[in-house]
Amino acid sequence: MDNKELADLIFPNAKDYTYYEEKYKERNLPEGAIVTRFAPSPTGFVHIGGIYQSLIAKLMSKNDGVFFVRIEDTDQKREVENGTKQILDALKDFDLSPDEFIDENDLDHGNYGPYKQSLRKDIYQSYAKKLLEEGKAYPCFCTSEDLEKIRGDQEKAKERTGYYGKWTKCRNMPIDMAAEKIKNGEAYIVRFKSPGNPDKKIKHKDVIKGSVDFPENDQDIVIIKSDGLPTYHFAHLVDDHLMGTNMVIRADEWLASVPLHLQLFYVMGFKAPKYAHISPMMKMDGEGKRKLSKRKDPESAVGYYKEEGIPKDSVLEYLMNIANSNFEIWRKQNPDKAMYDFEFDIKKMSVSGALFDMVKMLDVSKNVISRYSAEKVYKEAYEWAKEYDEELKEMLDNKDYSLKVLGIERGNVKPRKDISKWSDVKYIISYMYDEKFDKEGEFEYQKITDKEEINEIVSKYFEKYYNENDDKETWFNKMKDLAEELGYAREVKEYKLEPEKYKGHVGDLSTVIRVKVTGRCNTPDLYEIMKVLGKERILKRI
């Protein structure tokens, strides 16, 4: 018996691999166009790192390239129902929908499908058959006890563990013997026959990590498991080859597999893609840093952002900040441009792992929301409230009034920056709603605390100066007049020059009015607030 006959015995029905080479034509794209993918396992948990990776993929493929999603479900124990839908929905929520994908009903969108590994079993077997025919793969009959014994012997001999070199029990088994065992129904898997020599080095030039040297791979890894499905290593080789991937962008936990992956491409006779390994997102934990963890950090799940009401724009902008630190400056200089106009450079990504910091994310979000129109803030906050906060929803039911409230200090050069997530809105605007305005609440008058003085300021102001039709300048001048009348400086500057001459300054005094009217000492522009509240409601409050 020869290799070809053995291959036929193992995969009697597999088509010749050239069938697939014919079927999936090379992509006809302009020079330099990047074809890349996001290849998650449908485990039911979508990590924010997946959104990050997809954002990078989207950015890289934006000039005539292709971004596709491939569902890697060969480990069927880990799969959950709806896993595919969750992934696609999450990408859609972040405006990162792929150009090609398979939908939840297993319908392919794109010409290089199926985009789901469990539906490609025949394809993998054809390619495994090619390797078997060429004597570059072999059936292995080792049981788990055999493997354990090998491992034990290796540990005793203080050698590397694994299935390689002299430890490969089945590598040199005569073909006839292997065929006999298969015919007798013995269980087996298919292994790759590695040609590597670990004393030799391979050079890898990673798009992000730069040049890295590795010893050559010499492990005879499993390529087809006993259930007939491929392992990740083998599947990714076949898929990225047939799907025309020219840049693999993935987590750097796979960097150590590069020698194996390059070797697989080489042995197969296929051109390997470029590899870009993204460092994980890190988080401060006490003094040290650790990876953002699915178990410990709620913000690692994409669902967190939806629940908290952090807009997708904010999350994406923050991820851009992490990806290219010069984005922040660009954003300051180009507040009105679309994020995708930024010239992203994958080579500037962090080699060691960028810090994922929620405080910073919320800060970015404040800026993002400050650029929104009142209408957009209203729409998004209302959508969020409908799902997560009935009380806020009721407040916002009155659209005309809510638009006025949310429009305070918005759309000008220095817009308000107090909202970083929709779940904050209720508290932030509550004093604009009479039934929520807490008259007896803990007023913080700050500098002026004397009750009589406060009463004097308030009554003077409303009796003598306040007129709801005043324009902003008049309103402010009247505040200054009041200050002068009561012995306060008209300007903060004057007060600072001769503090002993005054009781305080106009700012201290307007704080008193602010606190009386809103119950808070920090609010957006008081003039605008008073305009929106109107005279009648203000007088009722004081």
Q: Closest Cα partner for 369 from 436, 424, 329?
A: 424
Q: By CB under 6 A, is residue 533 in contact with ligand GLU? A: no
323 contacts ligand GLU (rule: CB under 6 A): no
Nearer Cβ to ligand GLU (234/305): 234
Q: Does 508 bind ligand GLU (CB under 6 A)?
A: no
Q: CA-CA distance, 82 to 86, in Å (whole number)?
A: 6
- The answer to whether the CB of 255 falls within 8 A of the CB of 209 is yes
Give least dist CB 55 to ligand GLU, A: 15
Q: Taking the CB of residue 233, how many other CB atoms lie within 10 A of it?
A: 17
Which position has the token pair 């859609």?
92
Cα 38–chain centre separation: 12
Cβ 251 to ligand GLU, closest distance in Å?
Answer: 6
* Closer Cβ to ligand GLU, 37 or 410, answer by number: 37
Is residue 254 involved in binding ligand GLU (CB under 6 A)?
yes
For ligand GLU, give the closer residue by CB, 218 or 252: 252
450 to 82, 447, 454, 489: CA distances (angstroms): 63, 9, 6, 18
Q: How far is the CB of 35 from ligand GLU (least distance, A)?
A: 13
Q: Are 253 and 353 in contact (CB under 8 A)?
A: no
In the complex with ligand GLU, which residue's Cβ is closer, 205 or 399? Answer: 205
Q: How far is the CB of 295 from ligand GLU (least distance, A)?
A: 17
Counting contacts by CB under 6 A, is residue 265 touching ligand GLU? no
237 forms part of the interface with ligand GLU (CB under 6 A)? no
The answer for residues whose C-beta is within 8 angstroms of residue 209's C-beta and 6 or more apart is 252, 255, 277, 351
Pair 312, 93: CB distance under 8 Å: yes
DSSP 489: B
* Side-chain half-sphere CA neighbours of 424 within 13 A: 14
Q: Cβ of residue 241: shortest distance to ligand GLU, in angstroms?
A: 13
Q: Which stretch binds ligand GLU (CB under 6 A): 21-29, 39-47, 349-357, 367-375?
A: 39-47
Q: Which stretch binds ligand GLU (CB under 6 A): 186-194, 243-251, 353-361, 462-470?
A: 243-251
252 binds ligand GLU (CB under 6 A): no
Question: Closest approach of Cβ 236 to ligand GLU, in Å?
Answer: 5
From residue 46 to residue 75, what is the string marking binding to ligand GLU with x (rule CB under 6 A)?
Answer: --------------------------x---
Nearer to ligand GLU, 39 or 142 (CB): 39
HEC string for 357-398: CHHHHHHHHHHHHHCCCHHHHHHHHHHHHHHHCHHHHHHHCC
Smallest distance, Å, CB 47 to ligand GLU?
A: 10
Contact stretch for ligand GLU (CB under 6 A) within 96-104, 145-153, 246-254, 305-313 = 246-254
- Least gap, CB of 252 to ligand GLU (angstroms): 11
The residue among 71 and 483 lying less far from ligand GLU, judged by its C-beta, is 71
List the one residue from 6, 10, 14, 39 that touches ligand GLU (CB under 6 A): 39
Nearest CA to 470 among 535, 416, 415?
A: 535
| Interaction of residue 433 with ligand GLU, rule CB under 6 A | no
Return the CA Rg of the chain. Answer: 33
Assign 3-class secondary structure to 104-127. CCCCEECCCCCCEHHHCHHHHHHH
Among 41, 125, 246, 263, binds ligand GLU (CB under 6 A): 41
d(CA 37, CA 23): 20
- State in angstroms the smallest separation of the CB of 247 from ligand GLU: 11
What b/e sequence results for 116-155 when a residue is b if at least 16 CB atoms lie within 10 Å of its CB, and e otherwise? bbbebbebbbbbbbbbbbeebbbbbbbeeeebeebeeeee
Footprint of ligand GLU on 6-35 (CB under 6 A): none
Query: Which residue of 116, 250, 514, 520 would you call a contact of ligand GLU, by CB under 6 A?
Result: 250
Q: At what angle do helices 422-429 and 374-388 cross, to 10 degrees?
A: 100
Please identify which residue in 35, 248, 320, 538 interacts with ligand GLU, judged by CB under 6 A: 248
Q: Which is nearer to ligand GLU, 280 or 504 (CB)?
A: 280
The C-alpha atoms of residue 143 and residue 363 are separated, in whole angstroms, by 56
Among residues 236, 291, 312, 505, which is the contact residue for ligand GLU, using CB under 6 A?
A: 236
Q: How many other C-beta atoms lie within 10 A of the C-beta of residue 188?
A: 17
User: Whole-angstrom Cα distance, residue 413 to residue 13?
Assistant: 70
Phi, psi (deg, nearest 5) at residue 285: -140, 100
**Nearer Cβ to ligand GLU (4/78):** 78
Phi, psi (5° rounding) for residue 277?
-100, 115
Q: Which of 241, 237, 228 is nearest to 260 (CA)?
A: 237
- Compare residues 247 and 479 and give the one whose CB is closer to ligand GLU: 247
Whether the upstream peptide bond of residue 230 has omega within 30° of 0, thus cis, is no
How far apart are CB 123 and ligand GLU at their closest, in Å?
17
> Per CB under 6 A, which of residues 144..203 are in contact with ligand GLU?
none
Give the residue carrying structure tokens 């034509």.
Answer: 25
45 binds ligand GLU (CB under 6 A): no
Cβ nearer to ligand GLU, comparing 39 with 529: 39
Cα 278 from Cα 351, distance rounded (Å): 8
* Residue bearing tokens 């089945």: 170
Please identify, using beta-carbon distances, which residue of 257 and 420 lies nearer to ligand GLU. Answer: 257
The piece of 245-253, 340-348, 416-424, 523-531 that touches ligand GLU (CB under 6 A) is: 245-253
218 binds ligand GLU (CB under 6 A): no
Interface ranges with ligand GLU (CB under 6 A): 39-41, 72, 232, 236, 248, 250-251, 254
